[in-house]
Amino acid sequence: MVEDIDLRNLAQCLRLGKKLHDNGFGLFRTMLKYKCERRGKHYLVADKYFASSKTCSCCGNKKDTLTLSERIYNCTECGTKIDRDYNAARNLRQYGIRMLHERNGLSA
Ligand SMILES: [Zn+2]
Protein backbone atom coordinates (compact mmCIF):
# COMPACT_ATOMS: atom_id res chain seq x y z
CA MET A 1 0.00 0.00 0.00
CA VAL A 2 1.57 3.28 -1.06
CA GLU A 3 0.28 6.83 -1.05
CA ASP A 4 -0.01 8.68 -4.33
CA ILE A 5 1.95 11.66 -3.05
CA ASP A 6 2.68 14.60 -5.33
CA LEU A 7 6.48 14.43 -5.23
CA ARG A 8 6.94 18.01 -6.40
CA ASN A 9 4.76 19.32 -3.55
CA LEU A 10 6.58 17.07 -1.08
CA ALA A 11 9.93 18.37 -2.27
CA GLN A 12 8.77 21.95 -1.78
CA CYS A 13 7.32 21.24 1.67
CA LEU A 14 10.49 19.52 2.85
CA ARG A 15 12.68 22.04 1.01
CA LEU A 16 14.57 19.26 -0.72
CA GLY A 17 14.79 21.03 -4.05
CA LYS A 18 12.82 20.36 -7.20
CA LYS A 19 14.57 17.13 -8.14
CA LEU A 20 13.05 14.80 -5.54
CA HIS A 21 11.03 13.11 -8.26
CA ASP A 22 14.31 12.30 -10.00
CA ASN A 23 16.12 10.82 -7.03
CA GLY A 24 14.56 7.41 -6.81
CA PHE A 25 11.08 7.77 -5.28
CA GLY A 26 9.38 7.04 -8.59
CA LEU A 27 11.78 4.21 -9.32
CA PHE A 28 11.16 2.76 -5.86
CA ARG A 29 7.42 2.62 -6.50
CA THR A 30 7.95 1.06 -9.92
CA MET A 31 10.20 -1.62 -8.45
CA LEU A 32 7.85 -2.24 -5.53
CA LYS A 33 4.93 -2.72 -7.93
CA TYR A 34 6.98 -5.15 -10.00
CA LYS A 35 8.09 -7.13 -6.94
CA CYS A 36 4.55 -7.31 -5.55
CA GLU A 37 3.03 -8.49 -8.81
CA ARG A 38 5.79 -11.04 -9.31
CA ARG A 39 5.08 -12.57 -5.90
CA GLY A 40 1.29 -12.47 -6.23
CA LYS A 41 0.94 -9.64 -3.68
CA HIS A 42 -1.39 -6.66 -3.92
CA TYR A 43 0.09 -3.31 -4.95
CA LEU A 44 -2.40 -0.59 -4.07
CA VAL A 45 -2.13 3.17 -4.42
CA ALA A 46 -4.12 5.36 -2.05
CA ASP A 47 -5.77 8.45 -3.50
CA LYS A 48 -3.56 11.50 -2.98
CA TYR A 49 -6.43 13.24 -1.16
CA PHE A 50 -6.87 10.44 1.39
CA ALA A 51 -6.11 12.07 4.77
CA SER A 52 -4.00 9.26 6.24
CA SER A 53 -2.24 11.53 8.75
CA LYS A 54 -5.15 13.76 9.78
CA THR A 55 -7.61 10.93 10.45
CA CYS A 56 -7.79 9.13 13.80
CA SER A 57 -7.23 5.42 13.16
CA CYS A 58 -9.26 4.62 16.26
CA CYS A 59 -12.50 6.59 15.84
CA GLY A 60 -12.26 8.11 12.33
CA ASN A 61 -12.30 11.73 13.46
CA LYS A 62 -10.53 13.99 10.95
CA LYS A 63 -8.52 17.02 11.96
CA ASP A 64 -8.60 20.16 9.81
CA THR A 65 -4.91 20.83 10.35
CA LEU A 66 -1.87 18.83 11.44
CA THR A 67 1.57 20.38 11.26
CA LEU A 68 4.67 18.37 10.35
CA SER A 69 6.12 19.09 13.80
CA GLU A 70 3.22 17.26 15.52
CA ARG A 71 4.77 13.82 15.84
CA ILE A 72 2.08 12.43 18.15
CA TYR A 73 -1.49 12.24 16.87
CA ASN A 74 -3.74 13.54 19.64
CA CYS A 75 -7.41 12.84 18.97
CA THR A 76 -9.72 15.44 20.49
CA GLU A 77 -12.73 13.13 20.05
CA CYS A 78 -11.68 9.79 21.57
CA GLY A 79 -8.48 10.74 23.41
CA THR A 80 -6.18 8.46 21.42
CA LYS A 81 -2.51 9.45 21.59
CA ILE A 82 -0.46 7.60 19.00
CA ASP A 83 2.69 8.04 16.93
CA ARG A 84 1.79 10.09 13.86
CA ASP A 85 3.34 7.67 11.34
CA TYR A 86 1.89 4.59 13.06
CA ASN A 87 -1.55 6.27 12.95
CA ALA A 88 -1.15 6.95 9.20
CA ALA A 89 0.03 3.36 8.58
CA ARG A 90 -3.06 1.98 10.38
CA ASN A 91 -5.32 4.21 8.26
CA LEU A 92 -3.61 3.09 5.05
CA ARG A 93 -3.95 -0.56 6.06
CA GLN A 94 -7.71 -0.09 6.58
CA TYR A 95 -7.96 1.87 3.33
CA GLY A 96 -6.23 -0.97 1.48
CA ILE A 97 -8.54 -3.57 2.99
CA ARG A 98 -11.56 -1.52 1.90
CA MET A 99 -10.10 -1.18 -1.63
CA LEU A 100 -9.65 -4.94 -1.89
CA HIS A 101 -13.15 -5.61 -0.59
CA GLU A 102 -14.63 -3.17 -3.11
CA ARG A 103 -12.59 -4.72 -5.90
CA ASN A 104 -13.88 -8.16 -4.97
CA GLY A 105 -17.48 -6.98 -4.51
CA LEU A 106 -17.48 -7.64 -0.78
CA SER A 107 -18.73 -5.32 1.95
CA ALA A 108 -16.04 -3.99 4.31
ZN1 LIG B 1 -10.20 9.35 17.78
**Residue-wise pLDDT tens digits, 21-40:** 566 778 888 999 999 999 99
Q: How many whole angstroms from 38 Cα to the centroid of ligand 1?
A: 37
- pLDDT at position 105 is 87
Q: What is the pTM of this model?
A: 0.76
| Beta strands in 1-108, from DSSP E residues, in sequence order | 2-3, 45-46, 72-74, 81-83
* In a shared domain, residues 34 and 9: yes
Do both 10 and 61 map to the same domain?
A: no
Same domain, yes or no: 92 and 55: yes
Which residues is 81 bridged to in the sheet?
74
CA 61 to centroid of ligand 1, rounded, Å: 5
**Pair 38, 86 in one domain:** no
Segments forming the whole domain that contains residue 98:
50-108
Question: Cα–chain-centroid distance for residue 1?
Answer: 8
pLDDT of residue 3: 74
Q: Which residues have CB atoms below 5 A from the ion given as ligand 1?
A: 56, 58-59, 61, 75, 77-78, 80
State whether 8 and 55 are in the same domain: no
**Which stretches of the chain score pLDDT less than 50?**
none
Q: How many domains does the chain have?
A: 2
Looking at the fold, whether 30 and 74 belong to one and the same domain comes out as no
Residue 58 shares a structural domain with residue 108: yes
Q: What is the pLDDT of residue 11?
A: 63
- C-beta neighbour count of 93 within 10 angstroms: 13
* Structure confidence at residue 59 (pLDDT): 98
